[in-house]
Amino acid sequence: MGWTVVQRRLLFRYDATLPLDVLSGTRTHDNGLLIERLTFASAHDQRVPAVLYRRADAERPPVVIVGHGAGGSKDDPLMDRLFRWLAEHGLAVAAIDAPFHGERYERFEDFRDLLRQPFRGLHFVVQAVVDTMRAVDWLHTRDDLDAARIGYLGLSMGTILGVPFVGMDTRISAAVFALVACCHAASSVSCAIRWRATAASSLSGWCLMKLW
């Protein structure tokens, strides 16, 4: 039996009035790109590390939020290459570290341990979705970005977490779910349709760019 809309909203609810308390880190200019590092406050006393890539000369570019895979982070070399490529093609790229990943203070030595703890696993999903919603809150405070055009690109675990995120956050105008395990692909797309009555296509990254 599926979850009702009310149940889903209760599961992922958070205090949207909570101050973001953004702490800016480094701002780096690199080959025409501006790369910003920061943290912001989220639910359950969490601080979320984030990064933003954009062309230094871009005027209010649309934004794509990229969700990384299990065991990875926003700072993986392959993610850096992807962020640079997207930014060079005119998008601003935002990414956060999921709970238990990257620069988050709480870590798992073996991420599979989380999957063996169902209730903690549920908390992980809820925290990750809320953290990404808070990232959208932060993007809406930026006058230099076009927050009316925000998309989402999920890679592997980023797809699994992205389905409920895109389903709950109506501020996302386009989504691409990619590289999820084959056994979950059909259920992910089906779940996305149930979570939100909006078509979501698992196509190439170019499709996301065309939607702008």
Say what the pTM is.
0.83
User: Using an 8 Å Cβ cutoff, are 133 and 169 in contact?
Assistant: yes
Per-residue pLDDT of the chain (212 residues; tens, 9 = 90+): 567 777 778 888 999 999 999 999 999 999 999 999 999 999 999 999 999 999 999 999 999 999 999 889 999 999 999 999 999 999 999 999 999 899 987 766 666 666 677 677 788 999 999 999 999 999 999 999 999 999 999 999 999 999 999 999 999 999 999 875 544 444 444 444 344 433 333 334 444 554 45
**Phi/psi of residue 131, nearest 5 degrees:** -60, -40
End-to-end CA distance of the chain: give it in Å, rounded: 36
Give residue limits of the domains in the chain: 5-210
Residue labelled with tokens 């998309």: 151
Strand order in the sheet with 33-41: 23-30, 33-41, 47-55, 92-96, 63-67, 150-155, 172-178
Q: What is the pLDDT of residue 181?
A: 56
Contacts of 62 (CB under 8 A, 6+ apart): 90, 91, 92, 145, 146, 149, 150, 151, 212
Predicted confidence at residue 108, as pLDDT, reads: 63
Distance CA 195, CA 172 (A): 13
CATH class label, 5-210: alpha beta
pLDDT value for 212: 53
* Tokens 């093609």 belong to residue: 89
**pLDDT attached to residue 114:** 65
Question: Which candidate, 153, 181, 135, 154, places its Cα nearest to that of 14?
Answer: 135
Nearest to 64 by CA among 34, 97, 98, 93: 93
Report the alpha-carbon distance of residue 152 to residue 162 in Å, rounded: 8
Count of CB atoms within 10 A of residue 136's CB? 18
Beta bridge partners of 154: 67, 177
Q: How far is CA 200 from CA 94, 154, 184, in A?
A: 20, 12, 15
pLDDT of residue 200: 35
Q: Which are the contacts of 116, defined by CB distance < 8 A and separation ≥ 6?
A: none
DSSP 3-state of 24 = strand
